[in-house]
Amino acid sequence: MLLDVSNLTVCYDRAMLINDVSLYVEEGEMVSLVGPNGAGKSTLLRAITGLVAWDKMTLKGTAEGDITLKGNIVFDGKDISKTPAHEIVRRGLVHCPERRRPFKEMTVRENLMSGAYLHMKKWDVQQELEKVFKLFPVLGDRLNQVSGTLSGGEQQMLAVGRALMSRPKLLLIDEPSTGLAPLMRKEVFNKILEIKNLGITIMLVEQEVASVFSMASRSYVLSSGKIIAQGKCSELLEDEMIRRTYLGL
Ligand SMILES: Nc1ncnc2c1ncn2[C@@H]1O[C@H](COP(=O)(O)OP(=O)(O)OP(=O)(O)O)[C@@H](O)[C@H]1O
Ligand SMILES: [Mg+2]
């Protein structure tokens, strides 16, 4: 098992955003995480990648500082529930956050390089860049362009490309298709499938259930911070109540 989360609970002040969540991801899988707006999907990814712990540390003593984080997170055989976010990335658990646009004032090259930042000394970064260009040729063509001037779809590709520069074993991608035109959404999903076929394990958060269910093998359905259903996508689709209430199908 590559990722094993058990009994994860996150409270910001008195709001319980994640309520006793357990989930796992096997190596090589693509698993999806779906659920209504505000269900806690992004918070769950942030908790797994050490960002809730970061909030807890940095917001200490402020009005928002009362954050509770409980549970166990094991990645690649090691407990990471107390591991700092940058060390989690270094170990290969990489988060491509929601609505994240790349650093807009930086060039495409600078953005991509920032993804390899922790590994600069050890790796042949040029080789990593080549791999990203193979997947996203448009980024290779636009290397010196300021990222804020790329289209929305290109910026999303850049955000994924930057995450790939950290050489993830497990990539958590939060709503990559949101705000993109239908053709571009399709393109983004195709690229994610290509990434999976490169052998990278993926957990994908998406609003567009039909698309993500056609790619993922299993899914978790999150509602009000709780996993209310899980299993093979094909089985979840057969459940009328889940279809209508949670999947909007
Ligand atoms: N830092 C925070 N402090 C307090 N409440 C928060 C914080 N971040 C998120 N929330 C609240 O937690 C709940 C879960 O938010 P989250 O962004 O994780 O949901 P989501 O499933 O990703 O939603 P969406 O589909 O809109 O992206 C929401 O009610 C949100 O308002
Ligand atoms: Mg979200």
Which of 17, 220, 222 to probe ligand 1 with, by most ligand atoms within 8 A of CB? 17
- Residue 82 maps to a domain: yes
Which is higher by pLDDT, 77 or 117? 77
- Residue 16 maps to a domain: yes
The band of 249, judged by pLDDT with boundaries at 50, 70 and 90, is confident
The per-residue pLDDT for 119 is 73
The arithmetic mean of pLDDT across residues 149-174, rounded, is: 95
Q: Tokens standing for 152?
A: 């929305």
| Average of per-residue pLDDT values in the chain | 92
Q: Tell me: the pLDDT tens digits for 194-227?
A: 999 999 999 999 988 989 999 999 999 999 999 9
The arithmetic mean of pLDDT across residues 64-92, rounded, is: 93
The band of 42, judged by pLDDT with boundaries at 50, 70 and 90, is very high
Q: How far is the CA of 102 from the centre of ligand 1 (A)?
A: 21
Backbone φ, ψ for residue 199 (5° rounding): 100, 10
**Domains held by the chain: number:** 1
| Ligand 1 atom with minimal separation from the 37 CA | 25
The arithmetic mean of pLDDT across residues 178-188, rounded, is: 93
- Residue 141 maps to a domain: no
Q: Tokens standing for 19?
A: 């309520």
- Residue 140 maps to a domain: no
- Whether the CB of 39 sits within 6 Å of ligand 1: yes
Which of 19, 33, 42, 54 to probe ligand 1 with, by most ligand atoms within 8 A of CB? 42
- Whether the CB of 249 sits within 6 Å of ligand 1: no
The arithmetic mean of pLDDT across residues 25-31, rounded, is: 97
- What CATH number does residue 84 fall under? 3.40.50.300
The per-residue pLDDT for 223 is 94
The band of 13, judged by pLDDT with boundaries at 50, 70 and 90, is confident
The per-residue pLDDT for 100 is 66
Ligand nearest to the CA of 44: 1
The band of 142, judged by pLDDT with boundaries at 50, 70 and 90, is very high
The band of 63, judged by pLDDT with boundaries at 50, 70 and 90, is low
pLDDT at 41 over 90: yes
- Residue 114 maps to a domain: no
Q: Which domain holds residue 30?
A: 3-99+170-245
Q: How far is the CA of 223 from the centre of ligand 2 (A)?
A: 12
Beta-carbon contacts of 152 under 8 Å, excluding residues fewer than 6 positions away, are 179, 180, 184
Q: What is the DSSP string of 191-243?
A: HHHHHHHTT-EEEEE-S-HHHHHHH-SEEEEEETTEEEEEEEHHHHHH-HHHH
The arithmetic mean of pLDDT across residues 40-54, rounded, is: 96
Give per-residue burial for 34-52: e unless 16+ CB within 10 Å, then b.
bbbeebbbbbbbbbbbbbb
The arithmetic mean of pLDDT across residues 60-67, rounded, is: 70
The arithmetic mean of pLDDT across residues 166-190, rounded, is: 94
The per-residue pLDDT for 33 is 97
- Residue 70 maps to a domain: yes
pTM of the model: 0.93
- Residue 152 maps to a domain: no
Per cent of the chain over pLDDT 70 is 97
The per-residue pLDDT for 59 is 80
The arithmetic mean of pLDDT across residues 88-102, rounded, is: 88
